[in-house]
Amino acid sequence: MKIMKNRIVQTDPNRKDVLLPEIKTNLPQVPVIQKPPTQTSGRGDYIATVVLEAEYDDRYDNQIRLGILESVVSSLVSHHLNSGIIIFPAGMFFTNLNPPSSIYPQLQVALSNYLAAMQGNIIVCFGIDGSVDPEGYARDQIAVAADRTGIISLGKKFYPQKTERGHVNLASGFNVPEDGKSRIFRFRENLYYLAMCYDSFGIKNQDIKNPGVQGIIELAHCFYPKDKGPSGDPYFARHGFAGAARQWDCPAFGTGIFFRREVPERWPTGVIWNQGEISTNEWTYEMNPLKPEKVIRMNVTDGAAGVRLFRA
């Protein structure tokens, strides 16, 4: 992922004109929300895809993003979820010149304390970008899964977009551990694989065999209006989400951030492949049998969140 030109990238550590606060003060050492949400009846076990809409890509703040994550989780647990997996986009957090691991301790404290106050088993997935190079590329891109015990799974990007080649520090394989953590985690009786952005294309293009998982968690980065930045959301759904679901014969659940545009109503965030041997070039949204049981829209600090709930 390349940071868009209108976002300042700090290349001199002595400079102070950076959009982000310093990492050491950017995340709390204690959870933002101290008490568990009030839970109502009529809830179930779901996989929730959270697609964000934001007007600005140059007003980035990890503290705001943490608040968005916790507010969405709180609302879902209060009204919809007993237990579940809640999926946020790639690049949800940003560590600039520092590696993503620089904020693991703060995130572990904030999220584990917050999730421990909830009755059900809640797993949150999100991405962290960091180690930005002089040309604006995030060299380290990590997918994270965390629950009440802390970080339980880490996945480093193994398959780059063409323009990223030579810029991104890639995992040595599609299923190697990262910082001692597997990129496969368990929820209930099923195993899920963390895919970081173009990794879903790698699953298909490298003809990788399913390592024994029942679901793919695909964290895409962002989509812009046409001619304003990356805008290939249909391409990503067809060849990323559907391509990985076809290759591994299991559902793929994905998300992303839409800057200065609304999320298309028909854009699928959960895909099951049931079209046999046809090419993903021929696949259409109407062919997808996996539909959300509930669709929720909520306002968040810097825009809106569209949440789709799929029965786990």
CATH code, domain carrying 305: 3.60.110
For residue 42, what pLDDT is reported?
A: 60
**How far, in Å, CA of 85 to CA of 310, rounded?**
10
Segment (H or E) for 202: helix 199-205
Range of the domain at 278: 47-311
In whole angstroms, how far apart are CA 98 and each of 2, 95, 179?
Answer: 15, 5, 16
146: in domain: yes
Q: Do 196 and 142 form a contact (C-beta atoms < 8 A)?
A: yes
Model pLDDT, residue 94: 95
Would you say residue 241 lies in a domain? yes
Q: Are 107 and 151 in contact (CB under 8 A)?
A: yes
Q: How many domains does the chain have?
A: 1
Q: What is 44-105 written as a DSSP string?
A: EEEEEEEEEEES-SS---HHHHHHHHHHHHHHHHHHTEEEEEEE--TTSEE-TTS-GGGGHH
pLDDT confidence of residue 32: 42
- Assigned domain for 265 exists: yes
Residue 229 lies in a domain: yes
Q: Is residue 8 part of a domain?
A: no
pLDDT of 298 reads 95
In a domain, 141, yes or no: yes
**Nearest in space to 50 (alpha carbons), one of 311, 269, 265:** 269
The confidence score (pLDDT) of residue 227 equals: 66
The stretches in the chain having pLDDT less than 50 are 4-36, 41
Q: Output the CA angle 277-241-224, nearest 5 degrees.
A: 135
Supply 31's token pair.
Answer: 């959870």
- In this prediction, residue 229 carries a pLDDT of 65
Contact 255, 268 (CB under 8 A): no
What local confidence, expressed as pLDDT, does residue 13 receive? 34
Q: Phi, psi at residue 118, to the nearest 5°?
A: -95, 150
Q: Rounded to whole angstroms, how far apart are CA atoms 217 and 85?
A: 9
| 272 assigned to some structural domain | yes
d(CA 30, CA 45) in angstroms, rounded, equals 28
Residue 92 lies in a domain: yes
**What was the pLDDT predicted at 216?**
98
